[in-house]
Amino acid sequence: MFYPADKAQLLQQLKHDLDLSAQPIPSLRAVILPHAGHIYCARIAAHALRHIPREVSKILLVGPAHRTPFRGLALSSADFFTTPLGRIPLVKLRSDRSVSINDRAHAAEHCLEVICPYLQSHLDQFELLPVLVGQDGAAPLQELLSSVDKRFLVVISSDMSHFLNQQQAEQKDSQSIQQILALRSELSGDQACGYQGINACIDWAKPLQLTPELRAYDTSAKVNNDQSRVVGYSAFTFH
């Protein structure tokens, strides 16, 4: 279970986990957020969410396809995404060779859905453009990032290293964090499941002279006390 299905329970959990004072950054253009179960990473995500201005009205939400193989980028044909907190209207985008409708991929995927309640609890009203990244998706994603206007806040959904022990995870994730902070688009799949999205975001951010900042980092061991097999979680802002 990634988050409670009951609205009241979900709201109560979000209120507790995201209980940080707002510090909006007007020039914020992108964030990286983790997508594990809320009990593991909501407190990490909170450190980036607090910097998102509440008046943001459009979100480009990007995440890796974990379960359904395809090439390029996958859009949804749905008019809304629905969570216990209500419906989120979707922005429509034209399909082409590298960007296509793939409802099967979206139906099986968790990495975008997990982020939606965070956004619903923080923003007043917004429209969502949800994009899954498949094989060879970095180049078309960078094109998409460059084509959307400044009204869109880019949200990259990704965890860090997977299933190493605590010491190994901290070492690998430290390397990944330094690469992101140095705007080096060199991450690989063993560093982050959403490495294509992160790399594309970095390449998009460079000519815009955006500055990345690490807002929080931890591992699943913080919650389950199992240091033998952990997942790393981080939150970044770009402004």
CA 222-6-31 angle, to 5 degrees, is 50
How far, CA to CA in Å, does 32 sit from each of 13, 70, 155, 210?
21, 23, 6, 14
Percentage of residues of the chain with pLDDT beyond 70: 98
Using 50, 70 and 90 to split pLDDT, how confident is the model at 137? confident
Whether the CB-CB separation of 158 and 180 falls below 8 Å is answered with: no
**Low-confidence winner among 28-42, 48-62, 97-111 (lowest mean pLDDT):** 97-111
82-117, pLDDT tens digit by residue? 999 999 999 988 766 678 899 999 998 999 999 999
Q: So what's the pLDDT on residue 95? A: 65
Whether the CB-CB separation of 62 and 115 falls below 8 Å is answered with: no
| Residue 107 CB burial class (10 angstroms; 0-12, 13-18, ≥19) | exposed
How far, CA to CA in Å, does 78 sit from each of 74, 75, 117, 128, 205?
12, 9, 18, 11, 29
Strands (E), the chain: 30-33, 58-64, 73-75, 80-83, 86-89, 99-101, 127-133, 152-157, 162-164, 212-219, 230-238
How far, CA to CA in Å, does 237 sit from each of 46, 56, 79, 90, 211?
12, 15, 29, 24, 8
Q: Which residues pair with 80 in a beta bridge?
A: 89
What token pair was written down for 229?
């097999």
- Under DSSP, is residue 16 helix (H, G, I), strand (E, B) or coil? helix
Q: So what's the pLDDT on residue 49? A: 97
Q: So what's the pLDDT on residue 84? A: 96
Residue with tokens 């359904």: 68
- Please determine, for residue 136, whether its predicted confidence score (pLDDT) is greater than 90: no
**Neighbouring residues of 149: CB distance < 8 A, sequence distance ≥ 6:** none
User: What would you report as the CA-atom Rg of the chain, rounded to the nearest whole angstrom?
Assistant: 16
- Please determine, for residue 78, whether its predicted confidence score (pLDDT) is greater than 90: yes
Give, as one character, the DSSP assignment of residue 90: B
Distance CA 138, CA 9 (A): 37
Over residues 27-45, the mean pLDDT reads 96
The pTM (predicted TM-score) of the whole model is 0.96
The per-residue pLDDT of the chain, averaged, comes to: 94
Virtual torsion, Cα 97, 100, 102, 106, nearest 10 deg:
120
140-162, pLDDT tens digit by residue? 999 999 998 899 999 999 999 99
Q: So what's the pLDDT on residue 232? A: 97
